[in-house]
Amino acid sequence: MSDIQADIAGQTTTGEAGFGDYVQLLKPRVMSLVVFTGLVGLLVAPVSLHPIEALAAVIFIALGAGGSGALNMWWDADIDRVMSRTQKRPIPAGKVTEGEALAIGVALSGISVVMLGLATNWLAAGLLAFTIFFYAVVYSMWLKRSTPQNIVIGGASGAFPPMVGWAAAMGSVSIEAALMFMVIFMWTPPHFWALALFMKGDYHDAQVPMLTVTHGRRTTRTHILVYTVALVPFALAAAFTSIGGPIYLAVALVLNLLFLIGAWRIWRRAEPAAEADKYHVERRFFRLSLIYLFGHFAAFLIEATAPAGALAAAIGWGF
């Protein structure tokens, strides 16, 4: 009897994940962002897909993101065990084995690319395949542990989903898709560097060469300001394309002004002051960055609706 109990106890430690553990492996929070931006890219395109095709496209884009998330967790299991932020992920927690994560990542990546190609077109599928490759191989396996520019270049993988959505609807890419890409691409470094400023010891303990670790916190603050300034023209330029309009311009002006003020405050702060108030300004900037991205893409979506089009026509807005 005791033998049986010992056997069951042994099995619970590995390879007996619940379904929720598999869901966690796909990074659902990242997936939600991918679903949202990919859906916006798809819906703002001038050509509309059949609702079932659009649903399938968004599901397969999300599955691709989930697959690359699983591959990332498989590769990064060693540093996830060290960082407090990631210790509860399914592999470090012992709920999913590394082999399972690899198998799920590869399978979901393959299925998502092939099915997106069959459901929409092969340009969209190719872009999704490149996105998965970029996140799993270029970012996770290569850049993340080798250069402080990891977030900058690796941010491209998070920026592709709206372009994939646009390509799924249109069968091509254009300036609008490129601007949506650039907004996320330029937004990613300030977003993650703000996080790195207040998640102080994590990246250092894991020996991940984040800018805060390699070049110090003063340089990171300067970089946040520089990238925020560089982001603004792309965000505003989108207003004057077919996906923009007066509502988007108003939202973008407000959000970019707030984002610039936030970056300026971070740049001005000295480290002792930040430590004294437990990185209040940095945390607020991080939260604002989430609102910033959501706000821009929600405004794109609003501009694609009929009332927004009527408003633009009424005031003679035409691009």
Number of residues this chain uses to bind other proteins (CB under 8 A): 19
Rounded-to-integer distance, Cα 102 and Cα 75, Å: 8
Query: Which residues have a Cβ under 8 Å from the Cβ of 221 and sit 6 or more positions away?
Result: 197, 266, 267, 269
Of 6, 11, 87, 319, the one binding other proteins by CB under 8 A: 11
Q: Give the nearest distance from C-beta 188 to other proteins in angstroms.
A: 30
Q: Give the nearest distance from C-beta 62 to other proteins in angstroms.
A: 12
Return the CA Rg of the chain.
21
For other proteins, give the closer residue by CB, 117 or 158. Answer: 117
Q: Which two tokens stand for residue 218?
A: 């003063």
Of 33, 42, 45, 56, the one binding other proteins by CB under 8 A: 56
Q: Which three-class secondary structure string do you get for 60-73?
A: HHHHHHHHHHHHHH
Nearest to 156 by CA among 183, 176, 125, 196: 183
Q: Quick check: 219 and 193 in contact, CB under 8 A?
A: no
Of 28, 30, 59, 121, the one binding other proteins by CB under 8 A: 59
Q: Give the nearest distance from C-beta 77 to other proteins in angstroms.
A: 20
Q: Quick check: 260 and 226 in contact, CB under 8 A?
A: no
Site for other proteins in 68-127 (CB under 8 A): 115, 118-119
Is residue 3 involved in binding other proteins (CB under 8 A)?
no
Is residue 15 involved in binding other proteins (CB under 8 A)?
no
Of 22, 122, 240, 267, the one binding other proteins by CB under 8 A: 22
Alpha helices by DSSP H, the chain: 2-13, 19-25, 28-43, 51-75, 77-80, 98-119, 122-133, 150-170, 175-198, 202-205, 211-214, 216-237, 246-268, 271-276, 280-303, 306-314
Q: Quick check: 40 and 161 in contact, CB under 8 A?
A: no
For other proteins, give the closer residue by CB, 9 or 310. Answer: 9
Is residue 18 involved in binding other proteins (CB under 8 A)?
yes
Of 20, 94, 233, 309, the one binding other proteins by CB under 8 A: 20
Q: Give the nearest distance from C-beta 5 to other proteins in angstroms.
A: 9
Is residue 55 involved in binding other proteins (CB under 8 A)?
yes
The residue range among 5-13, 150-158, 159-167, 248-256 that interacts with other proteins, by the rule CB under 8 A, is: 5-13
Is residue 53 involved in binding other proteins (CB under 8 A)?
yes
- Please give the backbone phi and psi of residue 145, each rounded to the nearest 5 degrees, phi first: -105, 5
Site for other proteins in 128-157 (CB under 8 A): none
Q: Which two tokens stand for residue 106?
A: 């590869």
Q: Give the nearest distance from C-beta 19 to other proteins in angstroms.
A: 3
Residues in contact with other proteins by the rule CB under 8 A: 8, 11-12, 16-20, 22-23, 50, 52-53, 55-56, 59, 115, 118-119
